[in-house]
Amino acid sequence: MSSESSAPGPAGATPQTVNTTGASGPPVSLPTDKELVLKVIPMPADCNANGDIFGGWVMAQVDLAGSVLPARYVNGRMATVAVNQFIFKQPVRVGDILSFFAVVARIGNTSITVQVEVYAERFRAQGRYIKVTEASLTYVAIGDDGKPRPIEKPAVMPPR
Ligand SMILES: CC(C)(COP(=O)(O)OP(=O)(O)OC[C@H]1O[C@@H](n2cnc3c(N)ncnc32)[C@H](O)[C@@H]1OP(=O)(O)O)[C@@H](O)C(=O)NCCC(=O)NCCS
């Protein structure tokens, strides 16, 4: 499929060439040291006033994706205590296929810190991945009283 099309211009003018892939930045390889924990496709209802996907929507998906690996250790309730870092490297667009990769960076007494990376396949450039977001979040295991509770650390970390 062609990634370019002719946009209508003024009568008699040479048509402009428009990149319709929506790709931005060079394609990258997917990480091999992190686990695929979530895939999702944003819809028009998730847009901001620019027509790109609302940053808060992306943050919510990252929060969900980041909780997947800690859930294996916590075995119960947990809460997000901190977003340590959050970088929107490229805009997310309607119809992108988003892949969320995560890895446990640290297991503390009651908390687990996770690195999350998000890659987009643009609607018209599938199979080419662009890193759109990276983040670090910390989750705390909590008891029925809502207070932190200790996490049982595994003797051996599970394979990535
Ligand atoms: C999560 C919560 C129970 C923690 O209670 P707390 O009394 O602040 O807990 P503590 O100070 O004992 O810290 C608990 C753990 O969190 C870690 N932590 C606390 N604040 C942190 C921060 N700003 N950044 C990173 N880690 C932090 C501590 O280092 C500790 O980890 P460790 O036991 O592995 O060393 C409490 O802060 C809370 O209920 N927060 C609201 C959670 C929530 O609603 N999240 C959704 C937001 S939309």
Output the pLDDT for position 27.
87
- Which ligand 1 atom is nearest residue 106's CA? 34
Output the pLDDT for position 158.
56
Task: Please give the Cα distance from 15 to 17 (Å, whole number).
Answer: 7
Output the pLDDT for position 94.
96
- Which ligand 1 atom is nearest residue 148's CA? 3
From the number of C-beta atoms within 10 Å of its C-beta (0-12, 13-18, 19+), residue 158 rates as exposed
Task: Please give the Cα distance from 31 to 79 (Å, whole number).
Answer: 26
Output the pLDDT for position 64.
98
Residue ranges lining ligand 1, Cβ < 6 Å? 79-82, 108-111, 138, 140, 142, 146, 148
Paired tokens of 21: 């892939």
Reading phi first (left if > 0) and then psi (alpha if -120 to 50, else beta), residue 97 is in beta
On the CB side of 105, CA atoms within 13 Å amount to: 15
Ordered structural domains, the chain, with CATH: 22-141 (3.10.129.10)
Residues forming beta bridges with residue 147, ordered by sequence position: none
Nearest to 101 by CA among 44, 34, 158, 56: 34
Output the pLDDT for position 25.
73
Q: What is the pLDDT of residues 54-96, one digit of tens each?
A: 999 999 999 999 999 999 999 999 999 999 999 999 999 999 9
Q: Are 139 and 79 in contact (CB under 8 A)?
A: yes
Hey, whose CA ends up nearest to atom 11 of ligand 1?
148
| pLDDT by residue, tens only, the chain of 160 residues | 333 333 333 333 333 333 334 556 778 999 999 999 999 999 999 999 989 999 999 999 999 999 999 999 999 999 999 999 999 999 999 999 999 999 999 999 999 999 999 999 999 999 999 999 999 999 999 999 999 999 988 776 655 4
Hey, whose CA ends up nearest to atom 37 of ligand 1?
81
Output the pLDDT for position 153.
81
